[in-house]
Amino acid sequence: MTKKFFIENLKTLFYALIIAIFIRSVFIQPFYIPSSSMEPNLLVGDRLFVTKFSYGYSKHSFPFSPPIFDGRIIPKIPKRGDVIVFKTPADNRTDYIKRLIGLPGDTIQFIDGDLYINENLILKTIKLKNDVLYCGNMKIKVRTFEEKLPNGRKYLASYRKDYSFQNSDKFLVPDNHFFFLGDNRDCSKDSRFLSEVGYVNKDNLVGKAQILFFSSNPEIGSIFKFWRWQEIIRLKRFFKKIK
């Protein structure tokens, strides 16, 4: 009786694990935001759902990126402005989340602090002249703008007031690669840093960030401190669509 009970429960746990891995690999996966590189849109402590089917599937769609096949299955082209989780080219293991700015064949450049795509200035409208964001453990003063991409996609991006990224060489996005930027422009390790992130191969895309389902403020305390939930949990960010 005891042995049979143990075996049946072990089977149940095994099947549950298989189902969970299947759902995580094929449909949807939760992710945690550990850094401030996507502020003001995504905050440290945000939890979000990423859809794995949005761009098709590669080996990175599965846990531990098993080398079961090359390329992508059922590939779909991402749209400029999508917020995407990808594996960094440096190690093909670490998950990053950034905004897609450059498509294959695009040229990207910063001139006097302004973003240019294919030599066209990206329109930005001031929203907050005196904003404060995190950069690691520091707080920085920024100006927050609404940027509008060529496809009409709008989002918030912030630039430091005291020192901001001003000028760059032209970045020419190779075939089958993408160029990403963090919305917290002066506190983001992204495609501008070629030796650390650089251009991201299409096979490294993990999925599209869709819904922010839970958020807590780690600066105040752990979610296990239930007696401080009123301060720690950011209720207004629950079930918020990611733009």
Active site residues: 37, 98
Alpha-carbon span 165 to 104, nearest angstrom: 23
Q: Distance from CA of residue 235 to its chain's centroid? A: 21
Per residue in 73-98, is it b (16+ CB within 10 Å) or e — as a string? eeeeebebbbbbbbbbbeeeeeebbb
CA nearest neighbour of 202 among 66, 81, 54, 64: 54
Alpha-carbon span 33 to 44, nearest angstrom: 5
Per residue in 32-54, is it b (16+ CB within 10 Å) or e — as a string? ebebbbbbbbbbbbbbbbbebeb
**50: Cα within 13 Å, side-chain hemisphere:** 27
CA nearest neighbour of 57 among 74, 77, 82: 74
Alpha-carbon span 129 to 92, nearest angstrom: 38
Whole-angstrom CA distances from 42 to 98, 217, 237 are: 10, 12, 10
95, β-bridge pairs: 87
